[in-house]
Structure 1
């Protein structure tokens, strides 16, 4: 019986965490960008 490759499994989990973190960061950034133009137009007037 083959040994489980724990290093591969750990790396796969780390990559998945990084992807989720990046997606969350991009989502927050997009929400912030959508909100900023409204705020900047109000402050300019």
Structure 2
């Protein structure tokens, strides 16, 4: 009868835990980065272009009414 290789099984469990932890850390970093990019992108776009706040407003230089 074959003897069970407990060290192999333990190593496989450890690798699975590490893989799971790495995946969780990657997802957490993605969420953090995507939140920063969206927030900073919206703020920078409005400051640089000035069009974001004025999208629904009247034109700055309307045609003269005669």
Which TM class, normalised by the smaller chain length? Answer: 0.7 to 0.9
Q: Give the corresponding residue for 1:40.
A: 40
Aligned length: 44
- Cα offset, 1:38, TM superposition: 3.1
Q: Normalising by the residue count of structure 2, what TM-score does the alignment of the two structures yield?
A: 0.59
Aligned-pair Cα RMSD in Å: 1.3
Displacement over 4 Å in runs of 4+: none
- Cα offset, 1:28, TM superposition: 0.2
| CA deviations over 1:2-28 (Å, ceiling 9, x no partner) | 010000000000000000000000000
Report which structure shows greater RCO (CA 8 Å, sep ≥6): 2
Report which of the two has the higher share of helix.
1
In the alignment, structure 2 segments of 5+ residues that lack a partner are 48-66
Q: Normalising by the residue count of structure 1, what TM-score does the alignment of the two structures yield?
A: 0.83
